[in-house]
Amino acid sequence: MNLLAAVNWHSVLFMLFALLACVFALAVVFSQNVVRMAFYLVLSLASTAGLFMLAGAEFVGAMQIMIYVGGTLVLLVFGVMLTAQSTFVSMKTSAPEWLLAALVGGSLLYVLFLAAFGTSDWTTARKDQQTVSVAESKAAAPIGLGLLGIRVDSLSQPNETLKAGQSGYLLAFEIVSVHLLVVLIGAAYLARTKRRRQEWET
Amino acid sequence: MVEGINNFLGWEPDAWVGFVLTALIQVMILNVVLAGGALVFIWMERKISGRIQDRLGPTRVGGKFGWLQTLADGLKLLTKEDITPGEADPSLFKLAPYISLTASFATLLALPFANGWVGQEVNVALFFILAVLGLEVFGVILAGYASGSKWSLFGGMREAAQVVSYEVPVGLCAVIPVMICGTMNLVTIGNMQAGFFTNWLIFHDPFTFVVFWVYFTCAIASVNRAPFDLAEAESELVAGFHTEYSGLRWSLFFMAEYGSMFVVSGLASILFFGGWNGPIPVTHILSSVDANTLGWGDGSWAPFWTYLANAIGCINFILKAVLGVTVMIWVRWTLPRLRIDQVITTCWKYCVPLAAICFVGVMAWQAFQIPSGNDLPLPYQPIRAEVRETWAESTSSIGNAEQPTAEPADQVASVIIGEGV
C-alpha cells in the first residue's frame, strides 16, 4: 500500500494520455483508410485535450475539443465526400512519398525536440507545480483579457519598453476574426446555387 | 467526500482509496441518470405519443400505466441478434454507437445538478459541454459511413451538414447568459439566479426571452430530434444512419439521444430558468437557516439544512430538465418533418440572424445599463465600468506616447483576476 501511496498519479495520468496521443498519431500514419485515419486523428487530438485538462488549462482543453476534434469531423465529411470514388477507399503511399514525409516530419520533430529540451524551465520540474488544484485553474479569464488587450501575465514586468510590447492580442484577434468572416462569406458565395448562369445559357 | 469515505474505512484522510471510491460513486450516479433517464423518457415518449394520436400507449406491462414497458423493450433488444453487414467496415461499425454514447455521457460530468453537486466543477463548464456534445454526431457519421449502405451514408451526411450548421446559433445563444453573468462556470451562473423566479435570466430583458426559444429550437436540431430528424427519416431513408444496426448497438444510439436531450434541457434550465433555484426561494431560506435562529442550540444542524436545500434544488433541476424533454417529445409528435433545405434555411436565415440580433440587443442592454427584469447580484458591474473608462482613456491618449496608460488597465485586470472568475 505504501507503493500505491508513493505513486504520483498526476504523472501516471500524464503518461497514459501522452501514450494514447502518440499511439493514435502513429496509427494515423500507418492506416490506409481515410475514415480510419480521421478517426485515429480524433482520438489523438482528444488525448491531447486530456493533457491540457490534466495541466489545469480547462479552457484550452475545451478549445482543443471544439476546434481540432470538431474540425477533424468536418475534414472527415469532406474527405469522404470529395475523395471516395468507391466505398472504403484506401490510400497507398509510395516509397518516395514515405521518404519525403519522413524527411520533413523528422526535421520538424528535431526542431521541436531542440526547443523542448533547450528550455531549462521545461526540463527541470518545479516542486510547486507538480499538482494543479481545480480552484487554481482560472485559465479562461487571463486568456480572455489577453485577447482584449490586457496581458495579466506581464503585469509585473519592470521594463517599461518590454511592457509596452506585451500589450495583448487585440489586433491579432480582430484580424483572425475578420479573416474567418471573409472565409465564411467566400464559402457561401462559392457554394451558392448558380441558377442565373444556367438560365442565361439555356 | 474523499475524507468522509477514508474516515469511514479507517484510512488516512488523503489516501487513494477515497479518491477511487469517490470517483466510482459519482460515475455510478451519473450512469443512473443516463440509463434511468432513458428508461423514463422512452416510456414518456410512448405514453405522450399515444395520447397525442388518440391512443392509450402501453397499458399492460408492469401494471396500469405500462411502467415497465421500456424494461421489456430492453430485454427484447438484448435477445436480438447482433448483425454486422458483410459490406460494413467491421471495427468502425461496432465502435460507432459507443462513441455517441460516450460523448453524451461525458457531458454529464460537467453538468451541475445543484449548488456544488457536480461531477467535476469545470471553470468553462458551458463551453466544455457544448464542445463534447458536438462529438455525438461523430458516432452518427461513422455509423453512416461504416455501414456500407447508401441509406446510412445519406443519413450520416445529412446529420453532419445539420449539426455543423446548428452549432453556430447554439453557440451564439449560449453566449448571451455568459455575457450577462460574466462567467462560463455553470455553478456560478445557477447561483446568481437565486431568489424569486423574476431573477431567472429569461426575464432579464425581451431579448433573452426571445433567445431562449431560439436556443430551444436549435437544441432540438442539434440532438437530432423531430422535426429535425432527417438523419433517420424513415419515409425516405429506411432508418437513416442506423438502418444496419440491430439489438443492443441500436439501442445505444437511442440512449445517447435521450441522454443529450436531457443535457440540452438541463443546460437550458441553468442558462435561462434559474437551474436548481425554485420559483419561490424556499431552498435559499432553508440553506441560510442556522440552528441559532430557531434556537436549536449549537449549529450542528447547518450542514443538514444545506444538504436538504441542495436535495430540493436537485429535484427542481431534474423537474425543469424533464419538462424540457417533455416539450421536445410534444414537438416531435406534433410537427411534420422538415426537408433538408428547410432545415438549413431555418438555421441560417432565421435562427442565426435572430440570435445575432438578440446578442447585440443584450449587449446594448448591459452597456447602457437599462433596468432589467431581474435583480442579479452582478459582482463585475463596477469593474466593467472601470474597464470601459480605462479603454476610453487609453484610446483617447493614443497620440500621446509619453503618457503611460497601461497602469489603470493593469489594476483593473488584477482586480478581476483577484476576485476570481
CA distances (Å), origin B276, targets A58, A147, B86:
24, 33, 50
The total of structural domains in chain B comes to 3
Residues facing A33 on adjacent strands: A90
Within-domain flag for A45: yes
Q: Which of residues 87-146 of A touch B (CB under 8 A)?
A: 87-88, 134, 137-142, 145
Nearest to A65 among B89, B132, B157 (CB): B132
Chain B residues inside the 8 Å CB shell of A36: 89, 92
Residues A13 and A81 occupy one common structural domain: yes
pLDDT of residue B397: 47
Contact B123 A137 (CB under 8 A): yes
Is 0.90 exceeded by the ipTM?
no
Residues B287 and B222 occupy one common structural domain: yes
Per-residue model confidence as pLDDT tens digits over B286-327: 666 554 555 555 556 667 777 777 888 888 888 999 999 999
B52, B79, B106 - which closes a domain: B79
Residues B357 and B410 occupy one common structural domain: no
B33, B55, B79 - which closes a domain: B79
Residues B90 and B238 occupy one common structural domain: yes
C-alpha triplet A171, A174, A180: angle, nearest 5°? 140
Range of the domain at B385: 381-419
Within-domain flag for A127: no
Contact A70 B135 (CB under 8 A): yes
Task: Please give the Cα distance from A117 to A129 (Å, whole number).
Answer: 18
What is the mean pLDDT of the segment spanning A61-85? 75
Residues B33 and B162 occupy one common structural domain: no
Range of the domain at A71: 1-94
A35, B89 Cβ separation under 8 angstroms: yes
Residues B105 and B123 occupy one common structural domain: yes
Contact A150 B141 (CB under 8 A): no
A60, A94, A128 - which closes a domain: A94
Within-domain flag for A64: yes
Task: Please give the Cα distance from A53 to A17 (Å, whole number).
Answer: 11
What is the mean pLDDT of the segment spanning B366-378? 71
Nearest to B414 among A66, A80, A155 (CB): A155
Residues A5 and A63 occupy one common structural domain: yes
Q: Cis omega (within 30 of 0) on the bond before B404?
A: no
Within-domain flag for A132: no
Q: For the ranges A59-68, A189-198, B39-48, B75-84, which has the lowest average pLDDT?
A: A189-198
DSSP state of B157: H
Residues B72 and B218 occupy one common structural domain: no
Nearest to A65 among B131, B146, B404 (CB): B131
Q: For the ranges A168-172, A193-197, B272-276, which has the lowest average pLDDT?
A: A193-197
State residue B135 phi and psi, 5-degree precision: -80, -15
Within-domain flag for A108: no
Residues B168 and B249 occupy one common structural domain: yes
Determine the distance in angstroms separating the CA of B229 from the nearest CA of chain A, rounded to an integer.
19
Task: Please give the Cα distance from B332 to B226 (Å, whole number).
Answer: 5
Within-domain flag for B33: yes
CA distances (Å), origin B131, targets B19, B117, B136, B168:
27, 21, 10, 12
Residues B31 and B92 occupy one common structural domain: no
In the numeric block, the cell 491579432 is attached to A172
State residue A33 phi and psi, 5-degree precision: -95, 130
B36, B55, B79 - which closes a domain: B79
Task: Please give the Cα distance from B381 to B366 (Å, whole number).
Answer: 9
